[in-house]
Amino acid sequence: MGVCPEAHDLCVSKLCAFREKDREFVGALVGAGIVEASTLRDRLATVPGVDPTALIRAVTWLDTLSR
């Protein structure tokens, strides 16, 4: 059986990892209009156990995409 996560959920997991390749992937999806940065911000806040510093880092990075 395969797993097919929804695009926003996949991007949230990549933002939690916050590797360069993951940021490039998320940036491309946001740029292409496949995912919305606002939805990513909302979902990041719901991930249990995320380090607050990592959450701030990811949200701050998302803010750079909309400039």
Q: What is the pLDDT of residue 48?
A: 94
Closest to 52 in 3D by CA, of 16, 24, 19, 21 = 16
DSSP 35: S
Instruction: Extract the runs of DSSP E, i.e. beta strands, from 1-67.
Output: none
- pLDDT means per 10 residues, the chain with 67 residues, are 92 96 98 96 94 94 86
Residue 67 is predicted with a pLDDT of: 63
